[in-house]
Structure 1
Amino acid sequence: MTIQVRKLFKEVWSNLYRHKFTYYSRAVLLQLVMTSLGVGLMKLVFQFILLTSGQENLTKDSLFSMLVNPVSLALIVLFILVMAGLIFFEFSVLTLMVYGSYQEDYFSWKSLLKNAWLSFRKLNWRQFPVFLLYLISMVPVANLGLSSILTENLFIPKFISGELTKTSLGAVAYPLALLFFSYINLRLLFTLPLTVTNDLTIWDNIKRSWKLTRKGKFKLGLVWGSFELIFTFLTLLLLTFLLIIMVLLDPQGSNLLYETIFFTGLKVLIFFFSLLSKLSIVAIMVRIIMEEKELSASILAHEKEEPKKSKVLSLLITLALLLSLVNNSLILFTVDLNPNSLTIGHRGYVSKGVENSLEGLEGAAKEGVDYVEMDILLTKDHKFVVMHDYNLKRLVGLDKQVADMTFDEVVGLPISQDGHKSKLPSFEEFVQKAKELKVKLLVELKPHGSEPDNYVDLFIAEMRRLGVDRDYKVMSLDLKVMEAIEEKAPEMDTGYVIPLQFGDFAKNKVDFFVIEDFSYNDGLVAQAQKEKKEVFVWTINEEDQMVKYLEKPVTGIITDYPNLVKKEKQELKEKNTYFDKLLRQLVTSLK
Structure 2
Amino acid sequence: MKTIKKWLLPYKQALPALLLYQIIATVASAAWLALFKWIAGLLIRGTGKVAISSGDFLFLFKTWQGYVIILLAILTLFLLVAIDINPLVILCGRILKGEKPNVLLCFKEGFVSLKKFFTPGGFVVVLYLSLLAPILGFGVSISLTQNLYIPKFITSVIYSTPLYLIPVIIVVALLLFLGVIYMFILHGTLLDGMKLKDSARNSVRLVKKNWKDFLKSIVVFLLLYAVVLGLLLGLLALVLWIRSLIPMAENVNLIVSLVLMLVILFPMLYIVALFMPNYVLKLTMLYNRYQSEDGWEYQKRESRKSPLVIANVVLVILAIVGLTVVVATMGEELFPNEIKTGYIAHRAGGNEAPENTVAGVDAAYKLGASGAEIDIQRTSDGYYVVNHDADFARTCGVAKKPSEMTLAEVKELKVDGEPVATFEEMLDASHGRVILYVELKGETADQQMADDAVRIIKERGMEKETVLISLQYDLIDYISNTYPEMETGYLTFVSFGDTAALNCDYLALEEETSTHSMISSIHDKGKKVFVWTVNDDEDLYKFLSSDADEIITDNVSGAKATKALLEERTLFDRMVDDVTDLFFG
Please tell me the TM-score bracket, short chain as reference.
0.7 to 0.9
Distance in 2 (alpha carbons) for counterparts of 1:239 and 1:179 = 32
Question: For structure 2, which runs of at least 5 residues remain unmatched after alignment?
Answer: none
Tell me, yes or no, if the aligned pair for 1:541 and 1:559 is still in contact at 8 Å. Answer: yes
For residue 555 of structure 2, what is the amino acid of its counterpart? Y
Matched, 1:140 2:135: yes
Return the letter of the residue paired with 2:268: I
Change (3 A) 1:479 1:66: closer
Which residue is 2:394 aligned to? 394
**Aligned: 1:543 with 2:537:** yes
Which has the larger displacement, 376-385 or 59-68?
Answer: 59-68
1:286-305 superposed matches below 5 A: 286-293=284-291
In structure 2, what residue type is equivalent to 1:503? G
Residue 51 of structure 1 pairs with residue 42 of structure 2:
yes
Letter matched to residue 35 of structure 1: T
Q: 1:571 to 1:455 in 2, by over 3 A?
A: closer
CA shift for structure 1 position 537: 1.1
8 A contact 1:341–1:550 mirrored in 2: yes
Residue 37 (str. 1) matches residue 28 (str. 2): yes
In structure 2, the partner of 1:117 is: 111
3-state DSSP of counterpart to 1:529: helix
Partners in 1 of 2:211 and 2:87 — Cα distance? Answer: 25
Contact 2:185/2:203, CA 8 A, preserved across alignment: yes
1:361 maps to a residue whose letter is V
Whichever residue aligns with residue 412 of structure 1, its letter is E
TM-fit CA distance, 1:386: 0.7
One of 283, 286, 295 as aligned partner of 1:285: 283
| Correspondence 1:81 to 2:75 | yes
Q: Note the C-alpha offset of 1:467.
A: 4.2
* Contact 2:434–2:465 (Cα < 8 Å) also in 1: no
Partner of 1:427: 423
| CA deviation vs aligned residue, 1:500-547 (integer Å, no higher than 9, x gap) | 112322544422211112322333333333332211111122333323
Paired letter, 1:286: T
Closer/same/farther in 2, CA of residues 349 and 126 from structure 1, 3 Å limit: same
Q: Which amino acid in the other structure matches residue 100 of structure 2?
A: Y
SS at match of 1:122: helix
Percent sequence identity is: 22
Amino acid at match of 2:517: G
In 2, Cα distance between the equivalents of 1:532 and 1:210?
55
- Unpaired runs of 5+ residues, structure 1, are 1-9
Which one-letter code corresponds to 2:18 in the other structure?
A
Tell me which amino acid in the other structure corresponds to 2:545.
Answer: E
72 and 387 in structure 1: CA distance in 2 versus 1, 3 angstrom threshold = closer
2:198 is equivalent to residue 194 of structure 1? no
Q: Which amino acid aligns with 1:49?
A: A
Q: Give me the whole-angstrom Cα distance separating, in 2, the residues matched to 1:100 and 1:371.
A: 59
Alignment of 1:93-112 (within 5 A): 93-112=87-106
Cα distance, 1:221–1:310 mapped onto 2, change above 3 Å: closer
- Aligned counterpart, 1:262: 260
Q: Distance in 2 between matches of 1:307 and 1:31?
A: 20
Measure, in 1, the Cα distance between the counterparts of 2:292 and 2:44: 44
CA–CA distance in structure 2, aligned partners of residues 254 and 354 of structure 1: 50
- In structure 2, do the counterparts of structure 1 residues 335 and 36 end up closer, same or farther at CA, with 3 Å as the change threshold? farther
Structure-to-structure mapping, 1:183-582, within 5 angstroms: 183-214=177-208, 216-248=210-242, 254-255=251-252, 257-274=255-272, 277-278=275-276, 281-293=279-291, 311=307, 314-315=310-311, 318-319=314-315, 322=318, 326=322, 333=331, 334-336=334-336, 338-415=338-415, 422-435=418-431, 438-449=433-444, 454-505=448-499, 507-582=501-576
Inter-partner Cα distance in structure 2 for 1:328 and 1:304: 40
Tell me if structure 1 keeps the 8 A contact 2:341–2:548.
yes
SS in 1 for 2:116: coil
Q: CA deviation at 1:45?
A: 1.3
Q: CA RMSD in A?
A: 3.6
Q: What secondary structure sits across from 1:340 in the alignment? A: coil
**Which residue identity does 1:440 align to in structure 2?**
I
The correspondence for 2:164, drawn from 164, 170, 174, is 170
Which of 2, 22, 28 is 2:19 aligned to? 28
Which segment drifts farther, 97-106 or 324-333? 324-333
Change (3 A) 1:59 1:158: same
Measured in 2, the distance between the counterparts of 1:503 and 1:328 equals 37
Q: Aligned letter for 1:443?
A: V
Question: Aligned in 2, Cα 1:238/1:524: closer, same or farther, shift over 3 Å?
Answer: closer
CA shift in 2, pair 1:290/1:384, >3 Å: same
After superposing the two structures, state which structure 1 stretch, 381-390 or 563-572, moved more.
563-572
Q: Is this contact kept in 1: 2:347–2:373, CA < 8 A?
A: yes
- The TM-score with structure 1 as length reference comes to 0.83
- Please tell me whether the aligned partners of residues 504 and 524 of structure 1 are also in contact (alpha carbons under 8 angstroms): no
- Cα distance, 1:316 vs structure 2: 6.3
Q: 1:506 to 1:311 in 2, by over 3 A?
A: same
Tell me, in whole angstroms, the C-alpha distance in 2 between the residues paired with 1:123 and 1:308: 37
Question: What's the offset of the Cα at 1:371?
Answer: 0.7
Change (3 A) 1:254 1:396: farther
Map 1:62-73 → 2, pairs under 5 A: 63-70=57-64, 73=67
Note closer, same or farther for the CA distance 1:328–1:37 as it changes in structure 2 (3 Å cut).
farther
Name the count of aligned residue pairs: 568
Matches of 1:198 and 1:21, distance apart in 2: 25
The one-letter code sitting in structure 1 at the alignment partner of 2:456 is E
Q: Secondary structure at the match of 2:145?
A: coil
Counterpart residue type for residue 223 of structure 1 = S
